[in-house]
Structure 1
Amino acid sequence: MSVVELSLLLLLFLFVILSAGVWIALALTIVGYIAIVMTMSTPAGQVLATSVWAASGSWDLTALPMFILMGEILYRTKLPDDMFTGLAPWLQKLPGRLLHVNVVGCAIFAAVSGSSAATCATIGRISLPELAKRGYDSKMAIGTLAGAGTLGLLIPPSIILIIYATVTEQSIARLFIAGVIPGIMLAVLFMGFIIVWALFNKDRMPAPEPEMPWRERLAASRRLIPVTLLILGVIGSIYGGLASATEAAVVGVFLSLAFSWWSDTLTWPNVREALLAATKTSCMIAFILAGAAYLTAAMGFTGIPVALAEWITAFKLAPWALLTVLTIFYVVLGCFLDGISMVVLTTSIIIPLVEKSGFDLIWFGIYIVLVVEMAQITPPVGFNLYVLQGMTGRNIFTIGAYTLPLFLLMVVAVALVAIFPGIALWLPSTMLDR
């Protein structure tokens, strides 16, 4: 059996197991076991023990539960209310007015959350009722929120960037810094779309609200001080070289607890819910990473990744053609898997091909997160769509249709990052290579 035939057979096994409703982590482990038994005399159990232990013992993974806990604590505070109150007066003059709160609010909360679904849910529970009360178009309100919520994956501290850094042995700090400019660029694209839409659809916009005096605007802006301090404490400590990503995560948890105490939301029920939610999410991710580590080890024994890379290289695809194929592959895969599973499932096969093609792995990390962001708003397994379905009661495919313009803007962002790799690489090279 050729390597290509074996890889197709294992891929078929994987999809059959996943279709049966088996947990993703178990599915990865089963396929890894089958690969070793079919091709090697090496004890499969021994490989399982060593690979899982190595994956679980990574120091970089320590940051993961801390950032998740920070987001869970902040979700239960008054931070979203403060952000809406502080941002609204300054966005009234832009065409589209308070629709921009979805984008700016998600961009800011992404800098203290790291999760797309958490960003979407946190901002949405404040902005959607407020926008509906003021008469804004519901399709635009829901669509822009779903798209802007994906910024939680790109703007640091990003959970998925931590996972990518772990499985590819790249620097978390470098990846975090690399995600800043692409994240801002994507937010600007979203805001530009809102402006253009508002200018061409003035009849679908509510009447403007009375202009707020400067003194009142400045007073409202004080509500943004806590989130600004959080961002400075977490991201600033990394950029300033004062703390590693793991240490910054601990700083973030401390600051989120301090803000929760200051805003009178540090209650035992809130703390207990945050701890339980963070534990469940962390264990789920760790379980998937353990299964992926076993599958990666199995792929290494079989030689499938290198053989596939050589096979695809034989087609002599131009770099742009390879990226086009990978983009389509990830978008299709995103119709069936969540972002974390996509990254850990494909890394062992894709990375050798990417390295052989000469792509920088830091740049590729930003590229893959952008593509995974697209999958977050792709039915039928787009996590942000599920979040908004629960909040609005609308059909998931209807919400997916609302987000189509933002999906296309993400395609534009992927193209820009591919054509101008300095968008992702300039800042880390400037800040860390001095």
Structure 2
Amino acid sequence: MIADPLTLSVVLTGIMFLFLLSSVWIGAALMLTGMAGMLLYEHHLPPGISLWQKAGDLLAGSLYDSLNSWSLAALPMFILMGEILYHSSVSTRLLNGLIPWMGWIPGRLLHINVAACSLFAAVSGSSAATTATVGKITLSELKKRGYSKKLAIGSLAGSGTLGFLIPPSLIMIIYGVLADVSIGKLFIAGILPGLLLAGAYSLYIAVVARLDPSVVPPQQERFSSREKLASIKELLPVFSLIALVLGSIYGGFATPTEAAALGVLGALALALYFRSMSWSNLREAFLGAVRTTAMISFIIAGASFLSQVVGFLGIARAISLYFGSLGLGPYQLILVVGLMYILLGMILDGISIVVMTLPIVLPIVTAAGYDPLWFGIFLVFMVELSQITPPVGFSLFVIQGISGEQIGYILKATFPFFLIMIAIVAVVTLFPEIATWLPRQMIGG
């Protein structure tokens, strides 16, 4: 039996990683870790209440409370919307519409990954869906036209993570539910940081193209004004869907959940209009949405139980007191938290990072004076970094499957964009108004 909560937290962390490394489902690993904590801690329960009765109460309560949320209903809707777009021709039309507008920028079509990922992120909400959809179209096209394969892969890896930052975002929905922060405000807060990150990626590509002209083909494609105007009709479907989803939220006409349902209807309407949705594709879209939603819900339930156990055992309070005793300033604290998330990103997926750490980390950072709304954006950046950090960087595996390249080559191509993301995190930390100003202007509070 262990009486000290800090010692117990270290032991439970080790137990949790043993479960995860043994290929146990993440949700099950979190629940088993919580049960281990209940068994290992020196309890002082009231008379007549057994350890197993208390553990059962915590488990039943956490399962119901974590999943009985109207806000969480937006999650399967946004996932389904992304799946429908992925299995239809709308994504291909988006790329075709962007190509004529990229020719005048240094780096030319190398910017297409940044532009396409930014637009697709605004209707998908999933980093994996954004990376896979855009990458399947752009990588082969850029290679065929003679563009730098390394820069194309790196820009896709970096830009694909925008699916978590540019609203709507699955991670923001999960964070908003767990942290009791307005999902609408989170969506708005992600706009300026997302555009800033996309702009930084494009700036890097332009600088590299200026310094090394060999990254682009010598023959520059030229498009007439008529061709540019004609390409707008390919972009209008995606812009219309973005306006429908985000406009209904920011205009106050719909909640994020209702807007997600509108997005599904809009995506279906576009797929049917372009005659690119067969019964087979629709079935695959629904099955993909069910699989992803079930996985995320199981993880959320397991994390909620672990959170209940952490609170019951006094671990969160003990860790908060320990950090407080270190005398860390706000910037030192957020640096330590950021380094912790980067390390966790090497072994865990983004959703697991959020649900596992939030019960412990959020009270600490809010006690240090950080706005929970701002911290939500900071956490999304950390999750984005986890998508491109080995060995569990999910986007890296997606790109490997698309490109057929070795993971080492992909890591080298991605590293500059990893550093750019860290630099933008530092900027948003030093100037938190980048994330918090727009929600105050549009919603207030």
Letter of the 2:236 partner, please give it.
Answer: I
Which SS does the other structure have where 1:264 is aligned?
A: coil
* Equivalent in 374, 382, 388 of residue 371 of structure 1: 382
Which residue number corresponds to residue 145 of structure 1?
Answer: 156
Q: Distance in 2 between matches of 1:206 and 1:148?
A: 22
Which residue number corresponds to residue 170 of structure 2?
Answer: 159
CA distances 1:200-250 after superposition (whole Å, capped 9, x unpaired):
011232023342110111001110000000000001111111110000000
Letter of the 2:341 partner, please give it.
Answer: Y
Which residue number corresponds to residue 84 of structure 1?
Answer: 95
Aligned-pair distance for 1:45?
A: 1.2
Aligned-pair distance for 1:284?
A: 0.1
CA distances 1:15-50 after superposition (whole Å, capped 9, x unpaired):
111111111111100111122233344521121011
Q: Distance in 1 between matches of 2:296 and 2:68?
A: 14
Query: After the TM superposition, which residues 348-359 of structure 1 pair with which residues of structure 2 at under 5 Å, given as runs?
Result: 348-359=359-370
* Equivalent in 209, 221, 226 of residue 198 of structure 1: 209
Q: Distance in 2 between matches of 1:306 and 1:201?
A: 54
Aligned-pair distance for 1:374?
A: 1.0
Which residue number corresponds to residue 93 of structure 1?
Answer: 104
Which residue number corresponds to residue 268 of structure 2?
Answer: 257
* Equivalent in 31, 34, 38 of residue 32 of structure 1: 34
2:334–2:365: 8 Å Cα contact kept in structure 1? Answer: no
Which SS does the other structure have where 1:403 is aligned?
A: helix
Deviating beyond 6 angstroms after TM superposition, the runs of 4 or more aligned structure 1 residues are none
CA distances 1:75-96 after superposition (whole Å, capped 9, x unpaired):
0111222111111111100000
CA distances 1:61-113 after superposition (whole Å, capped 9, x unpaired):
10000000000000011122211111111110000000100000000000000
Which stretch of structure 1 is more off in the superposition, 29-38 or 342-351?
29-38
* Equivalent in 264, 267, 270 of residue 278 of structure 2: 267
Query: After the TM superposition, which residues 178-197 of structure 1 pair with which residues of structure 2 at under 5 Å, given as runs?
Result: 178-197=189-208
* Equivalent in 22, 30, 38 of residue 20 of structure 1: 22
Which residue number corresponds to residue 361 of structure 1?
Answer: 372
Which residue number corresponds to residue 67 of structure 2?
Answer: 56
Q: Distance in 2 between matches of 1:103 and 1:335?
A: 24
Which SS does the other structure have where 1:112 is aligned?
A: helix
Q: Distance in 2 between matches of 1:281 and 1:205?
A: 38
Letter of the 1:296 partner, please give it.
Answer: S
1:112–1:157: 8 Å Cα contact kept in structure 2? Answer: yes
Q: Distance in 2 between matches of 1:414 and 1:38?
A: 38
2:176–2:183: 8 Å Cα contact kept in structure 1? Answer: yes
* Equivalent in 8, 11, 15 of residue 10 of structure 2: 8
Query: After the TM superposition, which residues 13-412 of structure 1 pair with which residues of structure 2 at under 5 Å, given as runs?
Result: 13-39=15-41, 40=43, 41=45, 42=51, 43-412=54-423
Which stretch of structure 1 is more off in the superposition, 387-396 or 281-290?
387-396
CA distances 1:241-297 after superposition (whole Å, capped 9, x unpaired):
111000000000000000000110121101100000000000000000000010001
1:230–1:252: 8 Å Cα contact kept in structure 2? Answer: yes
Aligned-pair distance for 1:172?
A: 0.5
1:366–1:424: 8 Å Cα contact kept in structure 2? Answer: yes
Q: Distance in 1 between matches of 2:353 and 2:371?
A: 20
Which stretch of structure 1 is more off in the superposition, 267-276 or 77-86?
77-86
Percent identity reads 47
Structure 1 residue ranges without an equivalent (≥5): none
Aligned-pair distance for 1:327?
A: 1.1
Structure 2 residue ranges without an equivalent (≥5): 46-50
Q: Distance in 1 between matches of 2:438 and 2:408?
A: 38
Aligned-pair distance for 1:186?
A: 0.2
1:125–1:391: 8 Å Cα contact kept in structure 2? Answer: yes
Q: Distance in 1 between matches of 2:91 and 2:245?
A: 18
Q: Distance in 1 between matches of 2:407 and 2:140?
A: 19
Letter of the 1:381 partner, please give it.
Answer: V
Q: Distance in 2 between matches of 1:79 and 1:258?
A: 11
Q: Distance in 1 between matches of 2:264 and 2:328?
A: 46
2:113–2:155: 8 Å Cα contact kept in structure 1? Answer: yes
Which residue number corresponds to residue 424 of structure 1?
Answer: 435
1:114–1:159: 8 Å Cα contact kept in structure 2? Answer: yes
Which SS does the other structure have where 2:146 is aligned?
A: coil
After TM superposition, the score normalised by the length of structure 2 is 0.96
Q: Distance in 2 between matches of 1:141 and 1:412?
A: 21
Q: Distance in 1 between matches of 2:382 and 2:75?
A: 21
Which SS does the other structure have where 2:108 is aligned?
A: coil
Q: Distance in 1 between matches of 2:169 and 2:322?
A: 33
Q: Distance in 1 between matches of 2:356 and 2:320?
A: 16
Q: Distance in 2 between matches of 1:397 and 1:328?
A: 23
1:106–1:151: 8 Å Cα contact kept in structure 2? Answer: yes
